Protein backbone atom coordinates (compact mmCIF):
# COMPACT_ATOMS: atom_id res chain seq x y z
CA UNK A 1 0.00 0.00 0.00
CA UNK A 2 1.06 3.54 -0.63
CA UNK A 3 1.78 5.56 2.48
CA UNK A 4 1.07 9.28 2.37
CA UNK A 5 2.46 11.92 4.69
CA UNK A 6 2.18 15.68 4.54
CA UNK A 7 5.13 18.04 4.63
CA UNK A 8 5.08 21.81 4.62
CA UNK A 9 6.93 23.71 1.93
CA UNK A 10 6.86 27.48 2.13
CA UNK A 11 6.26 28.92 -1.32
CA UNK A 12 6.04 32.70 -1.11
CA UNK A 13 7.57 34.70 -2.61
CA UNK A 14 8.34 32.32 -5.46
CA UNK A 15 9.43 32.16 -9.05
CA UNK A 16 10.79 29.60 -11.45
CA UNK A 17 13.88 31.74 -11.83
CA UNK A 18 16.09 33.66 -9.48
CA UNK A 19 16.08 37.40 -9.80
CA UNK A 20 17.53 40.26 -7.85
CA UNK A 21 14.10 41.15 -6.58
CA UNK A 22 11.62 38.57 -5.30
CA UNK A 23 7.94 38.97 -6.05
CA UNK A 24 4.62 37.41 -5.07
CA UNK A 25 2.63 35.29 -7.45
CA UNK A 26 -1.06 35.88 -8.03
CA UNK A 27 -3.26 33.17 -6.63
CA UNK A 28 -3.42 30.92 -9.68
CA UNK A 29 -0.44 31.73 -11.83
CA UNK A 30 3.30 31.23 -11.80
CA UNK A 31 5.94 33.26 -13.55
CA UNK A 32 8.82 31.80 -15.52
CA UNK A 33 11.12 34.64 -16.42
CA UNK A 34 9.59 36.27 -19.48
CA UNK A 35 7.03 33.47 -19.83
CA UNK A 36 3.86 33.17 -17.80
CA UNK A 37 1.83 30.00 -17.43
CA UNK A 38 -1.59 29.21 -15.98
CA UNK A 39 -1.67 26.61 -13.17
CA UNK A 40 -3.16 24.24 -15.72
CA UNK A 41 -0.13 22.83 -17.46
CA UNK A 42 0.51 24.26 -20.92
CA UNK A 43 0.93 21.53 -23.50
CA UNK A 44 3.72 22.15 -25.98
CA UNK A 45 5.04 20.11 -28.87
CA UNK A 46 8.30 18.59 -27.72
CA UNK A 47 11.24 17.62 -29.85
CA UNK A 48 12.35 14.71 -27.69
CA UNK A 49 11.46 11.10 -28.36
CA UNK A 50 8.87 11.15 -25.58
CA UNK A 51 5.99 13.55 -26.16
CA UNK A 52 5.36 15.09 -22.75
CA UNK A 53 3.45 18.12 -21.56
CA UNK A 54 5.69 20.89 -20.29
CA UNK A 55 5.19 23.42 -17.54
CA UNK A 56 7.33 25.84 -15.61
CA UNK A 57 4.85 26.27 -12.79
CA UNK A 58 5.89 26.54 -9.18
CA UNK A 59 3.62 25.14 -6.50
CA UNK A 60 1.33 27.76 -5.01
CA UNK A 61 0.23 25.65 -2.09
CA UNK A 62 1.83 25.65 1.38
CA UNK A 63 1.46 21.90 1.78
CA UNK A 64 3.02 19.15 -0.31
CA UNK A 65 2.05 15.55 0.26
CA UNK A 66 4.63 12.81 -0.08
CA UNK A 67 3.33 9.45 -1.24
CA UNK A 68 5.51 6.38 -0.83
CA UNK A 69 4.75 3.64 -3.36
CA UNK A 70 6.17 0.16 -2.82
CA UNK A 71 8.46 -1.19 -0.14
CA UNK A 72 11.60 0.74 0.74
CA UNK A 73 14.89 -0.74 -0.46
CA UNK A 74 13.25 -2.48 -3.40
CA UNK A 75 13.52 -1.74 -7.13
CA UNK A 76 9.90 -0.58 -7.28
CA UNK A 77 10.04 1.89 -4.39
CA UNK A 78 9.16 5.48 -5.31
CA UNK A 79 8.46 8.63 -3.32
CA UNK A 80 6.05 10.86 -5.25
CA UNK A 81 5.13 14.45 -4.46
CA UNK A 82 1.48 15.56 -4.58
CA UNK A 83 -0.04 19.03 -4.54
CA UNK A 84 -3.00 20.06 -2.41
CA UNK A 85 -5.47 18.49 -4.84
CA UNK A 86 -3.64 15.16 -4.85
CA UNK A 87 -2.08 15.57 -8.30
CA UNK A 88 1.51 14.46 -8.83
CA UNK A 89 4.09 17.20 -9.16
CA UNK A 90 7.83 17.16 -9.73
CA UNK A 91 10.10 17.90 -6.77
CA UNK A 92 12.74 19.01 -9.27
CA UNK A 93 10.62 21.29 -11.45
CA UNK A 94 7.56 22.31 -9.43
CA UNK A 95 8.91 23.15 -5.98
CA UNK A 96 10.34 26.68 -6.12
CA UNK A 97 14.04 27.20 -5.57
CA UNK A 98 14.06 30.56 -3.84
CA UNK A 99 12.01 31.96 -0.99
CA UNK A 100 13.73 35.36 -0.98
CA UNK A 101 16.18 36.90 1.51
CA UNK A 102 18.83 34.28 0.76
CA UNK A 103 16.58 31.35 1.76
CA UNK A 104 16.10 28.33 -0.50
CA UNK A 105 14.08 25.13 -0.57
CA UNK A 106 16.04 21.91 -0.14
CA UNK A 107 14.59 18.45 -0.78
CA UNK A 108 15.97 15.59 1.29
CA UNK A 109 16.87 12.49 -0.69
CA UNK A 110 19.13 10.74 1.83
CA UNK A 111 18.67 11.21 5.60
CA UNK A 112 21.83 11.50 7.67
CA UNK A 113 23.21 8.29 9.18
CA UNK A 114 21.83 6.13 6.37
CA UNK A 115 23.49 4.60 3.30
CA UNK A 116 20.80 3.70 0.74
CA UNK A 117 21.69 5.82 -2.30
CA UNK A 118 18.41 7.63 -2.92
CA UNK A 119 18.00 10.19 -5.69
CA UNK A 120 15.44 12.02 -7.78
CA UNK A 121 14.74 9.98 -10.90
CA UNK A 122 15.40 12.71 -13.45
CA UNK A 123 14.36 10.49 -16.37
CA UNK A 124 10.98 9.40 -14.96
CA UNK A 125 7.65 11.21 -15.15
CA UNK A 126 7.20 13.54 -12.14
CA UNK A 127 10.80 12.76 -11.11
CA UNK A 128 10.04 10.77 -7.94
CA UNK A 129 12.74 9.82 -5.47
CA UNK A 130 13.98 6.26 -5.87
CA UNK A 131 16.98 4.17 -4.87
CA UNK A 132 19.74 4.28 -7.47
CA UNK A 133 20.69 1.05 -9.21
CA UNK A 134 23.68 -0.38 -11.03
CA UNK A 135 23.38 -3.46 -13.23
CA UNK A 136 19.89 -4.06 -11.83
CA UNK A 137 20.99 -3.99 -8.19
CA UNK A 138 20.20 -1.41 -5.55
CA UNK A 139 23.08 0.89 -4.70
CA UNK A 140 24.34 1.65 -1.20
CA UNK A 141 27.17 3.79 0.06
CA UNK A 142 29.88 1.70 1.75
CA UNK A 143 29.13 3.51 5.02
CA UNK A 144 26.58 5.94 6.39
CA UNK A 145 26.51 9.51 5.18
CA UNK A 146 26.80 11.81 8.19
CA UNK A 147 24.65 14.68 6.95
CA UNK A 148 21.26 15.14 5.30
CA UNK A 149 21.75 15.04 1.56
CA UNK A 150 19.57 16.06 -1.35
CA UNK A 151 18.95 18.62 -4.05
CA UNK A 152 18.11 22.21 -4.82
CA UNK A 153 14.98 22.25 -7.00
CA UNK A 154 15.01 24.18 -10.26
CA UNK A 155 18.77 23.82 -10.74
CA UNK A 156 20.70 21.83 -13.32
CA UNK A 157 24.38 21.20 -13.99
CA UNK A 158 24.57 21.48 -17.77
CA UNK A 159 26.74 18.68 -19.26
CA UNK A 160 27.41 20.80 -22.34
CA UNK A 161 28.98 23.67 -20.40
CA UNK A 162 32.62 23.62 -19.27
CA UNK A 163 33.51 25.50 -16.10
CA UNK A 164 36.71 27.44 -16.68
CA UNK A 165 37.19 27.94 -12.94
CA UNK A 166 37.10 24.21 -12.21
CA UNK A 167 39.53 22.59 -14.65
CA UNK A 168 37.13 22.96 -17.57
CA UNK A 169 34.90 20.23 -16.11
CA UNK A 170 31.42 19.77 -17.55
CA UNK A 171 28.24 19.52 -15.47
CA UNK A 172 26.97 16.12 -14.35
CA UNK A 173 23.43 16.47 -15.82
CA UNK A 174 21.76 16.54 -12.39
CA UNK A 175 20.26 19.09 -10.02
CA UNK A 176 22.72 20.69 -7.59
CA UNK A 177 23.43 18.66 -4.47
CA UNK A 178 23.10 19.98 -0.92
CA UNK A 179 24.84 18.74 2.22
CA UNK A 180 22.77 19.94 5.18
CA UNK A 181 24.81 19.99 8.40
CA UNK A 182 22.07 20.42 11.00
CA UNK A 183 21.75 18.11 13.99
CA UNK A 184 18.39 16.48 13.13
CA UNK A 185 17.97 13.43 10.94
CA UNK A 186 15.39 14.33 8.30
CA UNK A 187 13.02 12.16 6.25
CA UNK A 188 13.11 11.25 2.58
CA UNK A 189 11.10 13.84 0.69
CA UNK A 190 11.13 16.44 3.44
CA UNK A 191 11.36 20.02 2.17
CA UNK A 192 13.52 22.30 4.32
CA UNK A 193 14.19 26.00 4.25
CA UNK A 194 17.97 26.41 4.17
CA UNK A 195 20.66 29.04 3.85
CA UNK A 196 23.81 28.22 1.85
CA UNK A 197 27.15 28.56 3.64
CA UNK A 198 29.82 27.18 1.33
CA UNK A 199 30.44 25.22 -1.86
CA UNK A 200 32.71 22.32 -2.77
CA UNK A 201 33.63 21.68 -6.41
CA UNK A 202 33.76 17.90 -6.60
CA UNK A 203 35.02 16.34 -9.83
CA UNK A 204 33.59 12.84 -10.27
CA UNK A 205 35.07 10.91 -13.20
CA UNK A 206 35.67 14.20 -14.98
CA UNK A 207 32.22 15.66 -14.29
CA UNK A 208 31.59 18.68 -12.09
CA UNK A 209 29.29 17.81 -9.18
CA UNK A 210 28.78 20.80 -6.90
CA UNK A 211 28.12 20.24 -3.20
CA UNK A 212 26.42 23.21 -1.53
CA UNK A 213 26.97 23.12 2.22
CA UNK A 214 23.94 24.56 4.01
CA UNK A 215 21.96 24.52 7.24
CA UNK A 216 18.24 24.31 7.86
CA UNK A 217 16.79 27.48 9.34
CA UNK A 218 15.14 25.53 12.16
CA UNK A 219 18.44 24.11 13.42
CA UNK A 220 19.45 25.43 16.86
CA UNK A 221 22.78 26.68 15.49
CA UNK A 222 21.41 28.25 12.30
CA UNK A 223 21.63 31.78 13.70
CA UNK A 224 25.34 31.30 14.40
CA UNK A 225 26.46 30.42 10.89
CA UNK A 226 26.24 32.66 7.83
CA UNK A 227 29.40 31.91 5.86
CA UNK A 228 32.21 29.41 5.45
CA UNK A 229 34.28 30.77 8.36
CA UNK A 230 31.32 30.38 10.71
CA UNK A 231 31.09 26.71 9.79
CA UNK A 232 34.70 26.20 10.81
CA UNK A 233 34.05 28.01 14.09
CA UNK A 234 30.78 26.37 15.15
CA UNK A 235 31.07 23.04 13.31
CA UNK A 236 34.83 22.45 13.54
CA UNK A 237 36.15 19.82 11.15
CA UNK A 238 32.84 19.48 9.29
CA UNK A 239 33.95 20.94 5.96
CA UNK A 240 37.03 18.72 5.90
CA UNK A 241 34.92 15.71 6.85
CA UNK A 242 32.45 16.42 4.04
CA UNK A 243 35.24 16.77 1.50
CA UNK A 244 36.96 13.60 2.67
CA UNK A 245 33.73 11.60 2.73
CA UNK A 246 32.86 12.47 -0.87
CA UNK A 247 36.46 12.08 -1.98
CA UNK A 248 36.79 8.56 -0.65
CA UNK A 249 33.37 6.85 -0.76
CA UNK A 250 34.03 5.08 -4.07
CA UNK A 251 37.39 3.65 -3.04
CA UNK A 252 35.93 0.53 -1.33
CA UNK A 253 34.39 -0.39 -4.72
CA UNK A 254 37.79 -0.28 -6.36
CA UNK A 255 37.32 3.12 -8.03
CA UNK A 256 39.72 6.05 -7.76
CA UNK A 257 39.10 8.83 -5.29
CA UNK A 258 37.10 11.84 -6.43
CA UNK A 259 38.91 15.15 -6.76
CA UNK A 260 38.04 18.72 -5.83
CA UNK A 261 38.67 21.92 -7.71
CA UNK A 262 39.14 25.45 -6.38
CA UNK A 263 42.35 24.47 -4.67
CA UNK A 264 40.72 21.58 -2.81
CA UNK A 265 39.07 24.13 -0.50
CA UNK A 266 35.46 25.15 0.17
CA UNK A 267 34.32 28.38 -1.46
CA UNK A 268 32.43 30.98 0.56
CA UNK A 269 28.74 31.81 0.67
CA UNK A 270 28.87 34.37 -2.13
CA UNK A 271 30.46 31.81 -4.43
CA UNK A 272 27.81 29.25 -3.43
CA UNK A 273 25.08 31.76 -4.32
CA UNK A 274 26.80 32.35 -7.67
CA UNK A 275 26.69 28.62 -8.41
CA UNK A 276 23.02 28.43 -7.43
CA UNK A 277 22.19 31.37 -9.69
CA UNK A 278 24.11 29.93 -12.66
CA UNK A 279 22.58 26.46 -12.35
CA UNK A 280 19.12 27.97 -11.97
CA UNK A 281 19.71 29.77 -15.27
CA UNK A 282 20.81 26.48 -16.82
CA UNK A 283 17.62 24.84 -15.57
CA UNK A 284 15.62 27.70 -17.11
CA UNK A 285 17.18 27.00 -20.50
CA UNK A 286 16.45 23.30 -20.03
CA UNK A 287 12.73 23.68 -19.31
CA UNK A 288 12.33 26.26 -22.08
CA UNK A 289 13.94 23.80 -24.50
CA UNK A 290 16.81 26.11 -25.32
CA UNK A 291 19.10 23.11 -24.83
CA UNK A 292 18.64 19.44 -25.57
CA UNK A 293 16.92 17.65 -22.68
CA UNK A 294 17.90 14.19 -23.87
CA UNK A 295 16.14 11.62 -21.68
CA UNK A 296 15.40 14.05 -18.84
CA UNK A 297 11.79 14.39 -17.78
CA UNK A 298 10.56 17.98 -17.82
CA UNK A 299 7.44 17.40 -15.74
Question: Tell me, what's the pLDDT at 123?
Answer: 97
| pLDDT above 90 (res 13) | no
- Active site residue: 60, 141, 143, 271, which one? 141
> What's the half-sphere exposure (Cβ side, CA atoms, 13 Å) at 284?
19
Compute the half-sphere exposure of residue 126: CA atoms within 13 Å on the CB side of its CA: 13
pTM: 0.85
Look at the alpha carbons of 257, 231, 275, 88 in this order and tell me if their dihedral is positive or negative.
positive
Whether residue 117 is predicted with pLDDT greater than 90 in this model: the reply is yes
Q: How far is CA 231 from CA 226, 259, 273, in A?
A: 8, 22, 16
Over residues 231-240, the mean pLDDT reads 98
Collapse the DSSP code of 271 into the 3-class scheme (helix H, G, I; strand E, B; otherwise coil) and give the result.
helix
Cβ atoms of residues 209 and 177 within 8 Å: yes
Kindly indicate the confidence band of residue 18, based on its pLDDT and cuts at 50, 70 and 90. low
Rg (CA), the chain: 18
77 is catalytic: no
Domain ranges of the chain: 66-288
> So what's the pLDDT on residue 33?
37
Q: CB-based burial of residue 128 (10 Å sphere; 0-12 exposed, 13-18 middle, 19+ buried)?
A: buried
Chain segment 135-183, per-residue pLDDT in tens: 999 999 999 999 999 999 999 999 999 999 999 999 999 999 999 999 9
% residues pLDDT > 70 (the chain)? 79
Given this model, what pLDDT does residue 244 score? 98
DSSP state of 69: E
Residue 49 DSSP one-character state: S
> 264 versus 31: which is more confidently predicted?
264
Is the CATH code 3.40.50.800 the one for domain 66-288?
no
* Helix (H) or strand (E) run with residue 116 in it: strand 114-116
Could you tell me if 214 and 180 are in contact, meaning their C-beta atoms sit under 8 angstroms apart? yes
pLDDT band, residue 2 (cuts 50/70/90): low
d(CA 179, CA 243): 11
Amino acid sequence: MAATRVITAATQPTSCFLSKRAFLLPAKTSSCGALSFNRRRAALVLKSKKQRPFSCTAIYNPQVKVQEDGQSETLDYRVFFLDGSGKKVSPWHDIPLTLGDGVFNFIVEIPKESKAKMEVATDEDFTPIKQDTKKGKLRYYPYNINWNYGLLPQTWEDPSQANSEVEGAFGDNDPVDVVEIGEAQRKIGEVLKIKPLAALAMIDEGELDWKIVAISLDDPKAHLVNDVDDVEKHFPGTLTAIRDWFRDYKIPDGKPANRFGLGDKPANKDYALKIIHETNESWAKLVKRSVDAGDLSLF
